Chains A and B, each alone.
Chain A
Amino acid sequence: MNAVPAPPLHLCGIEKSFAEPSGTLRVLDGLDLTVQQSEIVVLQGPSGSGKTTLLQIAGGLLHADAGTVRLCDTDISSASEADRTAARQRHLGFVFQHFHLLDALTVEDNVALGLRLKRQPVDRARVAEVLDRLGIASKARKLPRDISGGEKQRTAFARALVGRPDLLLADEPTSQLDSHATEAITALLAEIARSWQVAVLVATHDVRLHPIANRLCRLSQGKIDA
């Protein structure tokens, strides 16, 4: 009998507060969330509701005050910094609102950097394949300054996906894009999740991402209203 694989992300009882001049601000209050393989979960909520905090905790970049964070089969809630970095390298891909590409590297080298940072050998064929799938193969030798915002975000997706992550965390991936680029990225996200069996957790205000979501989660009062 085959064992059931652990979900890429499982959050249980997550609590997080921040000290503010006016007192303690409770951002996450016993939050539970599980994202399954190939599932796209869109996280929405007003500014300050804790979407980014949740992504940071899910990515092992921020410690929760209480609760458990499991990335596939690894519990990173109480892991050391080195173990959390290793778990990120094994299981995670990040896409940031502001892309954070290295201006000095070509599109293809930015993507290859994703492999280097994961301590994986730089497989140029794999890089070319990912660029092709994301529709930016013709831009491979271009520098970020020479491509559009949409192409930059595709490059950021390629960098996150080239290492075959189990879970993709994306923070406002369309906020810097025009509607045409947003449409293209949205379609791409759906296609990637399905064909590459990647779980995707997206924090966004953008309603144009809703149609591709398997699940819409609204963050309110530190909890998820499914």
Chain B
Amino acid sequence: MLIRTGLAILAHERPKYAGAVLGTAISLFLMLLLSGFYFGFRRDITIVPDSFDADLWVSSRPLLTFDFAAPFDDLAWTTALSTPGVRATTRVVAAFTRWRIPGAGGMESVQVLGFDPDAGVRAAFGDDVPDLSSRMRADGGVLIDWKDTRSLGVARLDEFGAEVGGRSARPVGWLKNRHLFNAAYLVVTDVDNARRHLRLPANAIHYLAVKCAPGADPAAVAAALRERLPELQVHEAAAFHDLTQDYWADRTGIEPMLFLSMTLSSVVGFMTVFLTFFLLTSQKLSVFAAMKALGASTADVGVLLWVQLAVVFASATALAGAGLYAAVLAFADTPISVVLPPPVVAGGIGLMALACAFACVPSLVKVARTAPAEAFRT
């Protein structure tokens, strides 16, 4: 009944409500952007192991995180391949070294990842690079992320002059969105090239990534591998993912910091909406009382407030959405990852909607408690 009246009040007092819209939009924008950083950070922590379509991982023991593994003899590769239930396995080398920037001679930290591209375990690195396998096998052939080209001082494919671990390297293809969460850049090559760049013995590897045969139970295959490789550690893929993610989340403190920031931005949004509505309601109490005296129920006045809240929230969500879209575009060319899964966006918007609804409750209580007789007071 009073929907049009609510909208008219909103339009009439738009400067005041614009403040509420802006405050809510900024809070929602911050909350979602920080969530994007958080999920981007979590994705990038495990982006390397998660890019392998492996069911199991074999490593030396003990292992704290994917990034710091001790090497072991690749004789285990043939043992793993002959284990019942194993369809394919690839040798993986992963360690940090230095990249010498061509021309300038400066140094950058890189994580070298080497694997067998034709071993039968799919790995999502440079999928769109033609003739990927032979390019990776070429002496010094490496893949780097297109976002990192400027930092690593390369502008085109096959550019000479770079060195990895003191050995000549040249980019043979670009990776897409395979950026590490830390200060190092990812360099991908085949396992033999990687050993040379990392100065590892010719039989050393850090991992075996194992793909089980169709229908095979990964837990049973893991048990069989543990029996055949008792000196090594066998991880199921999900546990391996969690091991690395938990390690970095705990060690860096970034996770609680981003979580706290998200929470604080929600609180700011809540307070903005709460104060705006409470103050605007307080200013109009005598008018609301007069409306009640003239026959309006508390529900009528409540509808009026809810309509205003819905418009403020919808406008704020649209504004925040536009801002977020612009921010995601702006961050696309930077090393910072913004990852916003649809459930997170829906959850963020839902949470802010809930905060707005709660912020409106004191105003509704005030209206409900206002007696129509208040209209007779000044």
Q: At the interface with chain B, which of A38-46, A70-78, A91-99, A211-219?
A: A91-99
Q: How far is the CA of A47 from the CA of B9 in the complex (A)?
A: 35
- Check B293–A104 contact: CB distance below 8 A: no
Specify the chain A residue showing the minimal Cβ separation from B288: A100
B293 touches A89 (CB 8 A): no
Select the stretch in A55-63, A126-134, A147-155, A193-201 that faces chain B. A55-63
- Asked if B2 CB lies within 8 Å of chain A CBs, one says yes
Contact with B along A97-111 (1 / 0, CB 8 A): 110111111000100
Q: How far is the CA of A52 from the CA of B377 in the complex (A)?
A: 9
Verify B1–A96 contact, CB threshold 8 A. Answer: no
Segment among A12-20, A24-32, A115-123, A184-192 that sits at the interface with chain B:
A115-123
Q: Known contacts being A56-B373, A94-B375, A102-B287, is A159 close to B294, with CB within 8 Å?
A: yes
**How far apart sit A96 and B375, CA to CA, in the bound complex (Å)?**
7
- Across chains A and B, the number of contacting residue pairs, with CB separation under 8 Å, is 73
- Taken together as a complex, chains A and B put the C-alpha atoms of A97 and B378 apart, in Å, by 8
Q: Tell whether, in the assembled complex, residue B295 and residue A117 are in contact, meaning their CB atoms are under 8 Å apart.
A: yes
- The total of chain A residues at the interface (CB under 8 A) is 31
Task: Report whether B378 and A94 are in contact in the complex, using a CB–CB cutoff of 8 Å.
Answer: no
- The reply on A171 being an interface residue by CB < 8 A is yes
B378 with A117: CB separation less than 8 A = no
CA distance A88 to B378 in the complex (A): 22
* 8 Å CB interface, B258-314 against A: 286-287, 289-291, 293-297, 300
Q: Tell me if A113 counts as interface (CB < 8 A to partner B).
A: yes
Q: How far is the CB of A61 from chain B (nearest CB, A)?
A: 4
Pick from B12, B13, B373: contact of A61, CB below 8 A: B373
Q: Are B2 and A116 in contact (CB under 8 A)?
A: yes
**Distance in angstroms between the alpha carbons of A160 and B372 in the assembled complex:** 15
> A4-23 vs B: 1/0 string, CB under 8 Å?
00000000000000000000
Cross-chain contact of A97 among B5, B293, B376 (Cβ < 8 A):
B376
Query: Is the Cβ of B294 less than 8 Å from the Cβ of A104?
Result: no
Contact, CB under 8 Å: B8 / A109: yes
Q: Which residues of B contact A171 (CB under 8 A)?
A: 376
A93 — which chain B residues lie within 8 A by C-beta? Answer: 294
**A98 lies within 8 A of B295 (CB):** no
Residue contact B294 to A98, C-beta cutoff 8 Å? no
A100 and B287 within 8 A (CB):
yes
In the bound complex, CA of A61 to CA of B287 (Å): 15
Given contacts A61-B293, A96-B290, contact A113 B372 (CB under 8 A): no
| Residue A85 interfacial (CB < 8 Å) | yes
Known: A56-B373, A117-B294, A118-B295. A98 touches B12 (CB 8 A): no
What separation, in Å, do the CA atoms of A78 and B295 have in the docked complex? 18
Which A residues are CB-close (under 8 A) to B294?
A: 88, 93-94, 113-114, 117-118, 159-160
Point out the residues of chain A lying under 8 angstroms from B290, CB to CB.
Answer: 94, 96, 100
A62-B8 CB under 8 A given contacts A85-B295, A98-B286, A116-B2: no
Question: Does B371 reach chain A (CB closer than 8 Å)?
Answer: yes
Q: Does A89 contact B295, Cβ atoms closer than 8 Å?
A: yes
Q: Which residue of A lies closest to B287 (CB)?
A: A100
Tell me, in angstroms, the Cα distance from A88 to B291 when the chains sit together: 12
- For B8, give the chain A residue with the smallest CB separation: A104
For residue B312, give the distance in angstroms from its CB to the closest CB of chain A: 15
Is A119's CB under 8 angstroms from B375's CB? Answer: no
Q: How far does the Cβ of A166 sit from chain B's closest Cβ, in whole Å?
A: 14
Q: Write out the residue numbers on chain A whose beta carbons fall within 8 Å of the beta carbon of B12.
A: 103-104, 143
Query: Does B11 lie at the interface of the complex (its beta carbon under 8 Å from any beta carbon of A)?
Result: yes
Chain B residues, CB < 8 A from A143: 12
Least CB separation from B304: chain A residue: A102
Q: How far is the CB of B20 from chain A (nearest CB, A)?
A: 16
Within 8 Å CB of B10, what residues of A? 104
> In the complex the two chains form, is A52's CB within 8 Å of B5's CB?
no
Query: Residues of A contacting B11 with CB < 8 Å?
Result: 104
Residue of A nearest to B293 (CB): A94
Contact B8 A61 (CB under 8 A): no
Q: B295 and A96: CB pair below 8 A?
A: no
What 10 pairs across the A-B complex have the smallest Cβ distances? A104-B12, A100-B290, A89-B295, A117-B295, A61-B373, A104-B9, A104-B8, A117-B294, A61-B372, A56-B373
Residues of A near any B CB (own CB < 8 A): 52, 55-56, 59, 61-62, 85, 88-89, 93-94, 96-98, 100-105, 109, 113-114, 116-119, 143, 159-160, 171
Given A61-B373, A104-B11, A113-B5, 10 new contacts (CB under 8 A): A61-B293, A88-B293, A94-B375, A104-B5, A104-B8, A105-B8, A119-B1, A159-B294, A160-B294, A171-B376
| Residues of chain B having any CB pair with chain A under 8 Å | 1-2, 5, 8-13, 286-287, 289-291, 293-297, 300, 371-373, 375-376, 378
Q: List 21 A-B contacts (CB under 8 A).
A: A61-B371, A61-B373, A85-B297, A88-B293, A88-B294, A89-B295, A94-B293, A97-B378, A98-B286, A102-B8, A102-B287, A103-B12, A104-B5, A104-B11, A105-B8, A109-B5, A113-B5, A113-B291, A117-B300, A160-B294, A171-B376
